[in-house]
Amino acid sequence: MTVSAQAGEIAVADSGPGLAAEDLPHAFDRFYLYNRDRSERAVGSGLGLAIVTELTAAMGGGVRAASRPQGGAEFTLTVPATAAQWPAAERSGGDRAL
């Protein structure tokens, strides 16, 4: 696994089984990857990527998944690089429902 970061972006790449093209649009759906892989290998609960999506969106950012040509998958999170770019609720310290 590799992790790289720059202002406003974090990328995590693994060398696992990767994601098929038809799985990419659903990778962040709750339980989707768990239901797909549970009979073939040990997997998590199927909630991690859905939680990442919600938290990233709450910070005014986004997340995307891609298959890596050499195998595995890469997940990239983007968030505003400065507090001035964050949604108003986060700048003011206000609560925001997820």
pLDDT attached to residue 71: 84
In a domain, 31, yes or no: yes
> Quick check: is 38 in a domain?
yes
In a domain, residue 94? The reply is: no
Q: Residue 68 belongs to what domain range?
A: 2-82
- What CA–CA distance (Å, rounded) separates 49 from 39? 19
Please check whether residue 97 is in contact with residue 37, taking contact to mean a CB–CB distance below 8 angstroms: no
Residues 30, 83, 60, CA angle at the centre, nearest 5°?
A: 25
Which CATH number goes with the domain that contains 14?
A: 3.30.565.10
Mean pLDDT per segment of 10 residues, for the chain of length 98 residues?
93 86 85 66 71 92 90 91 64 50
Cα separation of 64 and 56, whole Å?
11
The answer to whether 73 and 28 have CB atoms below 8 angstroms apart is: no
Give the pLDDT score at 35. 66
Domain count within the chain: 1
Residue 88 lies in a domain: no
Question: Quick one: tokens of 57?
Answer: 């969106």
How high is the pLDDT of residue 43?
Answer: 61
pLDDT attached to residue 5:
94
Does a structural domain hold residue 34? yes
Q: How high is the pLDDT of residue 63?
A: 94
Tell whether 12 is covered by a domain.
yes
